[in-house]
Structure 1
Amino acid sequence: MTDDESEAVDAFERLGLTSYEAKVFIALHRLGSGTARDVANVTDVPRSQVYSVAESLEERSLLEVQQSSPIRYRPVSIEEARNTLEQRFERERERAFDYVEGVKEESSTEETQEDLWTVRSRDRVDSRVVDLLSQAENRIIFGTRLPTFVTESIERTIRERAADGVSVLVISRTDEIRDQFDAIDGITTETPPDFREGDQRSGRVVVVDGESILLSVVDDDGSETAIWSSDSLFASVLIQLIEASDQLRPESD
């Protein structure tokens, strides 16, 4: 079996066929039609197994059986097979996600959970920061001491939210970071309190709409670990502590 055929068999397996079903289906398209002997001669499927595999493919509406002696098999057209498998995939997908949705609804009615999530690695923290910033509707607080923690996507998202009318406060002791945002309408920059001068472990802080928060630290090996939470008691209390500073208090206060 060639590499291309092996990949095709693997693809059919991902669509719900067994390995033998995929091989017999492919073989019949190569032959046009054939007996169990013909199929066994061009595949590694034993002749004794071809009969049951063909019966299964017939049940799946992927081949037709000619009641002759010996019995001959003919595959349905490529287009018909494609439609059959697509419809099957759609039905299975709906069945699976309908079940998950039902389970989700049941759990949400039974219990309210406080969610605190941990994210490790720079790339994943970057993605989570962008996701949280993108959801902002009223106010963003973003702080970091490290220019490398202000990625292009993070800077772009902050600028876009400010342009959409979201109030943005950028906090950093690093001139380079404040200079990035200083002249942008809707963005205010601040320097953190003096007692933070010796800080070498903080990574980023993100507060969105007073409901979501992310805090990260720089690990000993230079990697980043963050915790984040949204719409939880944990997030509410921590955000209140952070915004207790006069510098971080919302403008409406």
Structure 2
Amino acid sequence: MSTRDAVAALKRLGLPNYQARVFVALQELGEGTAQEISDISEVPRSQVYGAADDLVERGLVELTESSPKRYRPVSLSAAREQLTNRLERERERAFENLAELRTMPPERADDGAVSTLRGRQPIDDRIAELLESADSSAVFVAPAENSLSETIETTLRERAAEGVAVTVVTAEESGGERFADSPITVIVMGEDNPADFAGRTLMVDDSTVLLAVATDGDTVAEEAMWTAGSSIGRILAQFMQSGIESGKNRHS
């Protein structure tokens, strides 16, 4: 890693530019005066004092009270711990502040809009949220074993136990065994089913539909669209239901 890369990495960890450059320079020097640090870091000497003193405050640098003052970096393990702890504190503070500012969005169950989102985790969360809104039925198409996150599986089981008619459609032969201890209906589509699985699909109460597909063949990178209470949702739900019935008839 070059000096520039090291400085850039430290800046991403939260150190201001001059502090990052001073800290990197001290790794090369081992110990140095403001002038020596300035010569290597190209930080003006007048600015080195402030940056180095700030690093002392952060617990990343030690100060020797001599004439002139000398600075030395703490061990890398100690620096890693200090920066990691600081990041953790800042992360918690940031999300605590966001939680206080956040206004919950209005109920979207019947707003008729079509929404899109990206990323496996956000899509998993949305699937679980839509399952929670089910009143009578839910059908989840899980093409592969990894289509079911722990959160989704747990929510499917809970909704089924609460009386919602839950169906899981899969191409995995092990699907039936996986849910054998729950009231969930599992439909295993065989190779003779003409409908290919393009991706994960959720249908809730014959009107809410979510369609998700992997992007660039990457199962972690995923895009989805979903709609609730819209004519599009009802149309998609009918296509889904028709495809499932067709597959069941061919498989029986």
Q: Deviations over 1:109-161 (max 9, x none)?
A: xx113452247xxxx79x79x969x978963469xxxxxxx89977x964154
Counterparts of 1:1-253 in structure 2 under 5 Å?
4-104=2-102, 106-108=103-105, 111-113=106-108, 114=111, 116-118=114-116, 139-140=139-140, 158-159=171-172, 161-165=175-179, 166-168=185-187, 180=191, 182=192, 189=193, 206-208=201-203, 210=205, 211-214=208-211, 228-229=225-226, 232-234=228-230, 237-238=234-235, 241-242=238-239, 248=245
- The runs of 5 or more residues in structure 2 that have no matched partner are 132-136, 148-168, 180-184, 214-222
**Higher radius of gyration, 1 or 2:** 1
Shift of 1:54: 1.0
**1:213 is matched by which residue type in structure 2?**
L
Q: Deviations over 1:12-50 (max 9, x none)?
A: 010001222112112223222211111112221121221
Distance 1:139 1:240 in 2: 10
SS where residue 34 of structure 1 aligns? Answer: coil
**2:11 is matched by which residue type in structure 1?**
E
**1:107 is matched by which residue type in structure 2?**
M
SS where residue 14 of structure 2 aligns? Answer: coil
- The runs of 5 or more residues in structure 1 that have no matched partner are 143-149, 171-178, 183-188, 192-202, 217-225
Shift of 1:204: 7.7
Distance 2:178 2:101 in 1: 36
Task: Say what the alpha-carbon RMSD is for the aligned residues.
Answer: 4.3
Identity of aligned residues (%): 31
Aligned to 1:185: none
Q: TM-score, normalised by structure 2?
A: 0.58
**2:104 is matched by which residue type in structure 1?**
S
Pairs aligned (count):
194
Q: TM-score, normalised by structure 1?
A: 0.57
Q: 1:51 to 1:164 in 2, by over 3 A?
A: same
SS where residue 68 of structure 2 aligns? Answer: coil
**1:11 is matched by which residue type in structure 2?**
A
Q: Deviations over 1:149-207 (max 9, x none)?
A: x89977x964154543443376xxxxxxxx51x4xxxxxx578xxxxxxxxxxx78944
